[in-house]
């Protein structure tokens, strides 16, 4: 038996002055009617396609869009494009407006979580929930993000030259062959200038100042390994956002669904309006 795919199509929209590429997952019927749409915003060097397996699972329960953040994948990139957090947050809000979403939740991983926080601070009426998955808690006067910039820059240069799964092994030794193969295929689509700007923004943008201005329900999901979010960080975020729900995936590193995919899905509970259902096999 084969697994039924929830992938519907990929597309592009013109929103916030740029081309935004996305992948859409869900049901071709109205099976998810009555549930809020989910927009997944990946991290600093993760084009949408690398989160396709997550989109597949979300698509069993929700109408789901996975975005290529500007400067990644098939979205706009250039030598002059604004790669700031404010621009990325405005992209997210504009994307939802252009495709006509009346209610949507954002699930942001790492950089994507910071984009979600900044967008939520702007209080768009249609954004109803935010899930922050292992967000960098670095910022002005705070400890540095644990990853180092050369890890990104060197791997992107290798990808631009052309490499394969084995070439990615040095950078991602714990990943599976399939995960490294996909990264080798798509990493060259990440604009080096965009990635450097976002990495520097991890240390100059103060998302903690945004949190008290976020009025919608929020969930924080953290990894047990990787040292991105510590327990004292969780407690600080709780003081800034008292409505915070919290979940923890102890057996995963920063790329949580890469390490413990079922633990990742369980961590959501019914926060998004319904639990994430298991994949079903095609009876044919």
Residue 280 tokens read as 């079903």
Residue 25's nearest CA partner among 36, 12, 10, 14 is 10
In this structure, the number of other CB atoms found within 10 A of the CB of residue 31 comes to 12
Q: What residue ranges define each of the domains in the chain, with the CATH number in brackets?
A: 7-143+205-266 (3.40.50.1820)
DSSP string, 6-48: -EEEEEEEEETTEEEEEEEES-SSSTTTTS-EEEEE--TT--G
Classify strands 127-133 and 218-223 as parallel, antiparallel or unpaired: parallel
Residue 74 tokens read as 């098939």
pLDDT tens readout for residues 68-119? 999 999 999 999 999 999 999 999 999 999 999 999 999 999 999 999 999 9
- Judged on CB neighbours under 10 Å (0-12, 13-18, 19+), 152 is buried
Share of the chain above pLDDT 90, in %: 93
Q: With contact defined as beta carbons under 8 Å apart, do 71 and 194 qualify? A: yes
Share of the chain above pLDDT 70, in %: 97
Alpha-carbon distance 91 to 178, whole Å?
30
pLDDT tens readout for residues 212-257? 999 999 999 999 999 999 999 999 999 999 999 999 999 999 999 9
Q: Which residues pair with 66 in a beta bridge?
A: 23, 40
Alpha-carbon distance 266 to 146, whole Å?
26
Q: Does residue 1 have a pLDDT over 70?
A: no
Alpha-carbon distance 184 to 190, whole Å?
11
Q: Give me the half-sphere count of Cα atoms (radius 13 Å) on the Cβ side of residue 183.
A: 26
Tell me the average pLDDT across 195-199.
Answer: 98
Tell me the average pLDDT across 194-207.
Answer: 98
**Taking the model in full, what pTM does it have?**
0.96
DSSP string, 39-93: EEE--TT--GGGGHHHHHHHTTTS-EEEE--TTSTTS---SS---SHHHHHHHHH
Residue 10 tokens read as 């990929």
Q: Kindly report the average pLDDT of the chain as a whole number.
A: 95
Q: With contact defined as beta carbons under 8 Å apart, do 135 and 113 qualify? A: yes
pLDDT tens readout for residues 2-51? 478 999 999 999 999 999 999 999 998 888 889 999 999 999 999 999 99
Alpha-carbon distance 78 to 146, whole Å?
28
């Amino acid at each position: 038996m084969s697994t039924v795919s929830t992938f519907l199509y990929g597309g592009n929209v013109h929103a916030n002055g740029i081309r935004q590429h996305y992948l859409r997952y869900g049901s071709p019927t109205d099976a998810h009617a009555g549930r809020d749409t989910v927009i997944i915003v990946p991290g600093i060097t993760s084009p949408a396609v690398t989160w396709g397996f997550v989109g597949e699972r979300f698509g069993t329960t929700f109408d789901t869009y996975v975005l290529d953040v500007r400067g990644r994948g098939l979205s706009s990139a250039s030598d002059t494009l604004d790669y700031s957090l404010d621009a990325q947050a405005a992209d997210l809000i504009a994307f939802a407006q252009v495709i006509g979403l009346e209610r949507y939740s954002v699930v942001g991983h790492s950089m994507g979580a910071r984009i979600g926080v900044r967008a939520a601070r702007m209080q768009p009426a249609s954004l109803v929930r935010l899930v922050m998955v292992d967000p960098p808690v670095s910022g002005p006067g705070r400890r540095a993000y644990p990853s180092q910039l050369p890890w990104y820059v060197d791997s992107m240069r290798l990808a631009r030259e052309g490499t394969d799964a084995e070439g990615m092994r040095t950078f991602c030794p714990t990943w599976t062959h399939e995960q490294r193969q996909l990264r080798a295929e798509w990493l060259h689509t990440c604009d080096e200038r965009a990635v450097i700007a976002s990495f520097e923004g991890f240390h100059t943008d103060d998302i903690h100042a945004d949190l008290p201005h976020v009025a919608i329900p929020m969930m924080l999901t953290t990894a047990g390994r990787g040292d991105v979010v510590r327990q004292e960080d969780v407690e600080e975020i709780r003081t800034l956002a008292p409505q915070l729900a919290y979940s923890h995936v102890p057996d995963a590193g920063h790329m949580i669904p890469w390490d413990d995919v079922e633990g990742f899905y369980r961590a959501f509970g019914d926060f998004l309006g319904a639990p994430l259902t298991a994949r079903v096999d095609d009876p044919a």
